[in-house]
A = this chain, B = another copy of it.
Amino acid sequence: MAYPYKKMTETDIQKIRDLTSPDRVAVGEAIAKEFYHDEMPEYGSYVPELYVEALNTQEVSAIMRYANENNIPVVCRGAGTGLAGGATCKYGGIMLSIMRMNRIDPVDHKNQTITAGPGALLCDIQAAAAAEGLMYPPDPGEKTASIGGNVITNAGGMRAVRYGLTRDFVRCMECVLPDGDIVRFSSNVVKNTTGYALKDLMIGSEGTLAILTEVTLKLIPAPKYTATLVMPFETMDGCADMVPEILKLSAVPTAIEFLERELIEIVERRLRKYFPVKEGTTVLIVMYDAASADELEEAVRAAAEAALEHGALDVAIADTPERIASVWEVRGAILEGMKADSVSQEECDVVVPRSEIANYVKQAKRIAASHGLRVEPCGHCGDGNIHTELLRGAEQTDEEWQSATKACLTELYALSKELGGQMSGEHGTGNGRIEYLEEFVGSRMIRLYQSVKAAFDPNLILNPGKMIRLPG
């Protein structure tokens, strides 16, 4: 079987209606255009042959069984907020939305967990935990993402320095395999060495191995105290060198971000959001959470002292909600600012060893300039995940922009590899980065990926053409 896939017939369409309900199935013009692409239409816009909203695991199973038997590809779709062109019907077929599977169970206090359908929104999970004095720590920028999408792409976010990634909070999951069989990966236990770690393989598999239909997430007690420090530096080097100094201290920071002045000025000019610290060509923003006021004070004191010892021009401490907001609002508005400041953007979210951050940023600017592109790196300094936004100038033709970004990305990925980094820190491979993947990981690794894909999905029916290319 596999490619070329079957073109869906009226019988196939009727069958999906029978397996679900006619009012949850759309075909042709009735399919909303937003389902053609994710948040990055640049990474592919494709028309599904059929769009269906499943209500439960049994429907997902029935659809998969039918599709697998009839050689019809299926792409599972959450909120569509991905940035890698992942949730798109590259080869037509069925777009299966799980957004109605958005049940959130009451918090399980004894196990400190919460169980939800994949369509529950991240912000609703966070709120449900908060209402019980608990916290679901993963905090990617997009709060209206589906939790299923977060899990299946191993979403990151700013608080990863202290708390880790989505992966670190997934206790167990229920999934539907490509042939329709329903399985559970692990259960609501803290550790598990029973069989292979397939739960961990599922996380980050971008909907190419199975469809997530329920997830149980670990929660933690919500920290009661928080403060944010802003440390301006004369140079990017000084700023990057501060990161290991911060991480040496006893208290583990929640987030460590960096911003260059240029980027701050774009946000101030375009969005009229003003950053409270005016000094420095680069600023490091460090956040601490703590269980007590004393603990917070000690963490802040030690960090401030270390910063002044290691060349910070000053240290501004934000410890009221208003002051904290004034810092993070600018950080949070960066993508919007860059969008306002350029015709279009292309994104690269490499991750490099922390020791190579300054080196990467400087070389990335040089590379972009050599291709006539403006680049504004910023991001998660605490984990080396540098969002390197390429900005299109008004004067560039489509062709110039496309060839320049392609050449630039090729060099940026090669640079990341050379520095011991990876192609993507949190946005994933999807469709948008697939052309760079083999060069990055090597042909032997691609063969391994293909074997793993075939182990779950021998007919290549699930989200084809993402993560790995179709053979031939």
Q: Which residues of A contact B (CB under 8 A)?
A: 108-112, 133, 153-154, 156, 160-161, 164-165, 167-168, 177, 181, 183, 186-198, 200-201, 203-205, 220-221, 223-224, 244, 247-252, 291-292, 294-295, 298-299, 351-355, 382-385, 420-429, 437, 440-442, 444-445, 448-449, 451-452, 454-456, 467
Contact = CB atoms under 8 A, between A and B. Distances in A.
Contact of A295 (B191, B298, B383): B298
Nearest to A202: B197
Given A192-B424, A198-B452, A291-B299, 4 more contacts: A168-B168, A200-B201, A292-B294, A294-B295
Contact of A425 (B189, B244, B292, B294): B189
A250 B291 contact: yes
Task: Name the 3 nearest CB pairs between A and B, nearest first.
Answer: A250-B291, A451-B455, A200-B200
A200 to B, nearest CB: 4
Contacts of A187: 353, 420-422
Given A221-B248, A422-B189, A196 B452 contact: yes
Given A168-B168, A292-B298, A221 B193 contact: no
B183 A448 contact: yes
Contact of A203 (B200, B384, B467): B200
A165 B352 CA distance: 24
B355 A195 contact: no
A186 B427 CA distance: 16
B189 A445 contact: no
Nearest to A203: B197
26 contacts: A108-B355, A110-B353, A111-B354, A111-B355, A112-B244, A133-B248, A154-B191, A168-B168, A177-B444, A181-B444, A183-B442, A187-B353, A187-B422, A189-B383, A190-B384, A191-B351, A191-B383, A194-B424, A195-B437, A196-B205, A200-B200, A221-B247, A250-B291, A452-B452, A452-B455, A455-B455
Contacts of A422: 186-187, 189, 192-194
Nearest to A457: B451
Of A353, A384, A426, A437, most buried by chain B (CB within 10 Å of CB) is A353
B291 A429 contact: no
Nearest to A185: B445
B160 A195 contact: no
B111 A292 contact: no
Nearest to A210: B448
B250 A223 contact: yes
A154 B200 CA distance: 12
Nearest to A181: B444
Contacts of A428: 193
Nearest to A161: B190
A351 B189 contact: yes
Given A112-B247, A201-B200, A250-B291, A160 B191 contact: yes
Contacts of A109: 244, 248
B153 A193 contact: yes
Nearest to A199: B200
A237 to B, nearest CB: 13
Nearest to A421: B189
A356 to B, nearest CB: 9
Nearest to A220: B252
B244 A110 contact: yes
A251 B383 CA distance: 24
